[in-house]
């Protein structure tokens, strides 16, 4: 019986699977088309296929981790369930009132997003708790019972309970939840004090209602997935990747589906951290391009940046997440001409079905993948090492039919225009995560992955004047590889609004003790007898500010000396972020946080074993279009046969099962001892791309 780990990442076009022998380091890779009607079907088929390909038994599988975009897609496409909301009397319109910030100052016709709990399904309940947790008005239980009766009659499936200041005292929410369960045992239910025990009513109400709206969606999907895993006779309970870069049990995800936003992209960032560590590349900008989107993140000194809030479907969702910026531009993004005759790319995607025209699955609209095909950047016969036939003539036909006449351009110029436009969009995403965060992108290596990342990375790097592009050995499968290596992680927080002085030590330590209890209880449910570490943070701000910065607490308690060090940490962080400090201004503690992390061991590393000559890796010569040179003859290499510890120059194309790497003219490529590629761009190339 072997110790096999399996990672599964479901994307918009393909589902990627990576299987690793945790003792020998041997790996197996597989890609299968995503099944949009039921993602679990494609996943389970892929799991069965990769186990058979490896000649293993399902009983050998010791760990399964799955990254899913189900919750993200459900919110973006409004495929949630009818959701009811119980709120404090007078606060039924919080979801519409929001923060009264305009997303665009010059557009008067912006449509506000439709809340998961529509106004007719929101019921106000007489009760009131003050900001310090004192009960002002007791809970009127008759109001709760009347609301539950009305919601059941209206066809709601899920209920969110959101009372004012419940972060300070959740007793009213807990009692209301008891009443709901008594009257309606089958209803899906969550309370804001359990979902987000933090102040700021709008964000807490939004996060809780979005979470409630996804409870049935995630529960039904996981039921199918878990049943399928059992039917395959895989014994261990599968794990699900969270946005924070850690994996948890399906039971945890069923309670907090909002934690799975960016689940798949988070796996890619974790995979990039691991690959970068092995290659001694610790400062990276990750560049993940899939079928529908591009996800970009910044990794400094081997640690990815994190955030506590993300907008999802127009609503702020406060949950611990890796700082991943996403745009709607990917390989399947559709090119079109607007009413003014301008070429546009995305955000609409051809997805897995019907997909790009060149895939031959019924797609007729031109996509970014079709443009790469027409311009010779992709293999003209088949992808996935021959397993998937492609049809270049259909890509040309799609571009001719939908773009050429409207643009007054030939097919090659139209295809080049698609790439130029989408590369500019992708460059904008890199700017957001670097320049707009105060970071110089030239100090980082652009690290592409996903099926299309290495196709565009060199062009985007040149536009951003980034001199190095680090391509891991399996970029098209890196998200799935990250899932294999994922630690087990849970994040917990609560609000304590206190001036940071000696009088705050008691309340701060009681709050940290409460968080420790929550973490221990979670740990008991997730992994009995596991050794875990607790990572502590305190959110702080100058009194009167509206946003806060985090300071690290060395242990789960604070004395006067530690408090002083936290204050100095905050001053330094504020000066680094904003350019100044206010030493005489009182500092306020806002939130306490803890992350409970169970580290999983890393399997041995195996790289490419090729030690032959570069000429032995040559597949063909092909005419390939480059932004700064037009069409040139470029050698096409099989990456599995490219010798390790070697160097070669562009222009070149490197093909492998999971992706294609475009290397521009005059660039130099260094291959390290495990087969990673470092593309070094020359200054002249970057100047040409400006």
What single string gives the DSSP state of each residue in 618-647?
EEEEEEEEETTTEEEEEEEEEGGGSPSS-E
| Distance of alpha carbon 49 from alpha carbon 17, whole angstroms | 10
Name the maximum alpha-carbon separation found in the chain.
81
Q: Which fold has domain 280-471+644-690?
A: Nucleotidyltransferase; domain 5 (3.30.420)
Q: What is the pTM of this model?
A: 0.87
Q: Are 151 and 85 in contact (CB under 8 A)?
A: no
Q: What is the predicted pLDDT for the residue at 511? A: 96
| Distance of alpha carbon 572 from alpha carbon 563, whole angstroms | 14
Domain 487-598 has CATH 3.30.1490: yes
Q: Number of helices (H) and strands (E) in the chain: give both, helices first.
A: 18, 37
Q: 543 is written with which tokens? A: 């009194």
Q: What is the predicted pLDDT for the residue at 392? A: 96
Q: Are 475 and 457 in contact (CB under 8 A)?
A: no
| Distance of alpha carbon 319 from alpha carbon 335, whole angstroms | 34
Q: Are 258 and 317 in contact (CB under 8 A)?
A: yes
| Distance of alpha carbon 184 from alpha carbon 186, whole angstroms | 6
Q: What is the predicted pLDDT for the residue at 292? A: 82
- pLDDT, averaged in runs of 10, over the chain (690 residues): 89 86 90 84 93 94 91 84 97 90 77 90 97 96 98 97 97 98 96 96 96 96 94 94 93 94 88 92 94 91 90 88 89 93 90 90 95 97 91 97 94 96 96 92 96 95 96 92 91 95 96 95 83 94 94 93 96 92 95 94 69 89 94 95 93 95 95 94 62
Helices marked H in 337-468 — which ranges?
Answer: 368-374, 392-399, 405-407, 411-433, 453-463
Q: What is the 3-state secondary structure (H, E, C) of 38-85?
A: CHHHHHHHHHHHHHHHCCCCHHHEEEEEEECCHHHHHHHCCCCCCEEE
Q: What is the predicted pLDDT for the residue at 36? A: 80
For residue 8, what are the β-bridge partners?
Answer: 17, 66
Residues in the chain: 690
Listed in sequence order, the residues at least 6 apart from 203 whose beta carbon sits closer than 8 Å to its beta carbon are 196, 309, 316, 318
For 606-643, b/e burial (b = at least 16 CB within 10 A) is ebbebeeebeebeeeebebbbbebeeeebbbbebbbbb
| Distance of alpha carbon 420 from alpha carbon 625, whole angstroms | 12
Where in the sequence of the chain do the CATH 3.30.1490 domains occur? 487-598
Q: Are 355 and 363 in contact (CB under 8 A)?
A: yes
Tell me which long-range contacts 111-114 makes (C-beta under 8 A, separation of at least 24): 112/314, 113/313, 113/314, 113/315, 114/78
């Amino acid at each position: 019986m072997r110790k096999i780990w399996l990672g599964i990442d479901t994307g918009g076009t393909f589902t990627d699977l990576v299987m690793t022998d945790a003792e020998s380091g041997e790996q197996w890779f597989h890609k299968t088309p995503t099944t949009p009607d039921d993602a679990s079907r494609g996943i389970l088929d892929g799991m069965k296929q990769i186990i058979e390909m490896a000649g293993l038994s399902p009983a050998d599988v010791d760990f399964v981790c799955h990254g899913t975009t189900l919750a993200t897609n459900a919110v973006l496409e409004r495929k949630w369930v009818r959701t009811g909301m119980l709120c404090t009397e007078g606060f039924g319109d919080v979801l519409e009132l929001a923060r009264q910030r305009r997303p665009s100052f010059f557009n008067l016709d912006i449509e506000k997003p439709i809340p998961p709990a529509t106004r007719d399904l929101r019921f106000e309940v007489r009760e009131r708790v003050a900001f310090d947790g004192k009960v002002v008005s007791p809970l009127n239980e008759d109001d709760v019972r009347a609301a539950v009766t009305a919601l059941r009659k209206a066809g709601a499936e899920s209920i969110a309970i959101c009372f004012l200041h419940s972060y300070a005292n959740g007793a009213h929410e807990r009692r209301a939840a008891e009443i709901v369960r008594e009257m309606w045992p089958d209803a899906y239910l969550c309370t804001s004090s359990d979902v987000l025990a933090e102040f700021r009513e709008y964000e807490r109400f939004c996060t809780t209602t979005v979470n409630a709206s996804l409870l049935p969606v995630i529960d039904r999907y996981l039921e199918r997935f878990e049943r399928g895993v059992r039917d395959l006779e895989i014994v261990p309970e599968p794990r699900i990747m969270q946005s924070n870069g850690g994996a948890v049990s399906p039971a945890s995800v069923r309670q907090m589906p909002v934690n799975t936003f960016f689940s798949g992209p988070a796996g890619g960032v974790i995979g990039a951290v691991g690959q970068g560590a092995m290659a001694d590349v610790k400062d990276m900008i990750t560049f993940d391009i899939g079928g529908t989107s591009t996800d970009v993140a910044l990794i400094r000194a081997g640690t990815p940046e994190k955030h506590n809030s993300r907008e999802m479907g127009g609503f702020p969702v406060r949950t611990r997440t890796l700082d991943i910026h996403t745009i709607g531009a990917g390989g399947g993004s559709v090119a079109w001409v607007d009413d003014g005759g301008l070429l546009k790319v995305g955000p609409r995607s051809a997805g897995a079905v019907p997909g790009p025209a060149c895939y031959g699955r019924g797609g007729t609209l031109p996509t970014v993948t079709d443009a790469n095909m027409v311009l010779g950047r992709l293999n003209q016969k088949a992808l996935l090492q021959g397993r998937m036939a492609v049809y270049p003539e259909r890509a040309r036909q799609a571009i001719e039919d939908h773009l050429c006449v409207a643009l007054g351009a030939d097919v090659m110029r139209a295809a080049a225009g698609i790439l130029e436009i989408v590369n500019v969009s992708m460059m904008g995403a890199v700017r957001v995560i670097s320049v707009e965060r105060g970071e110089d992108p030239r100090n980082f290596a652009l690290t592409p992955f996903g099926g299309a990342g290495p196709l565009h990375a060199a062009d985007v790097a040149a536009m951003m004047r980034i001199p190095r592009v680090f391509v891991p050995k399996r970029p098209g499968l890196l998200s799935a590889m990250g899932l294999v290596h994922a630690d087990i992680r849970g994040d917990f927080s609560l609000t304590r609004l206190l001036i940071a002085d000696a009088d705050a030590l008691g309340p701060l330590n009681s709050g940290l003790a409460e968080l420790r209890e929550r973490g221990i209880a979670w740990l008991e449910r997730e992994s009995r007898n596991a050794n875990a570490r607790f990572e502590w943070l305190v959110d702080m701000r100058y009194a009167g500010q509206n946003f806060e910065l985090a300071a690290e607490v060395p242990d789960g308690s604070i004395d006067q000396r530690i408090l002083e060090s936290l204050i100095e940490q905050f001053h330094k962080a504020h000066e680094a972020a904003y350019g100044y400090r206010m030493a005489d201004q009182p500092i306020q503690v806002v939130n306490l946080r803890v992350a409970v992390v169970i580290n999983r061991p890393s399997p041995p590393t195996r790289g490419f074993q090729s030690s032959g000559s570069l000429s032995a890796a040559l597949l063909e010569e092909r005419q390939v279009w480059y932004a700064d040179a037009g069409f040139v003859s470029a050698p096409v290499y099989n990456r599995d046969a490219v010798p390790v510890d070697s160097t070669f120059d562009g222009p070149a194309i490197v093909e492998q099962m999971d992706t294609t790497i475009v290397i521009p003219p005059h660039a130099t490529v260094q291959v390290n001892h495990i087969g990673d590629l470092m593309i070094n761009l020359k200054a002249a190339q970057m100047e040409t791309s400006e």
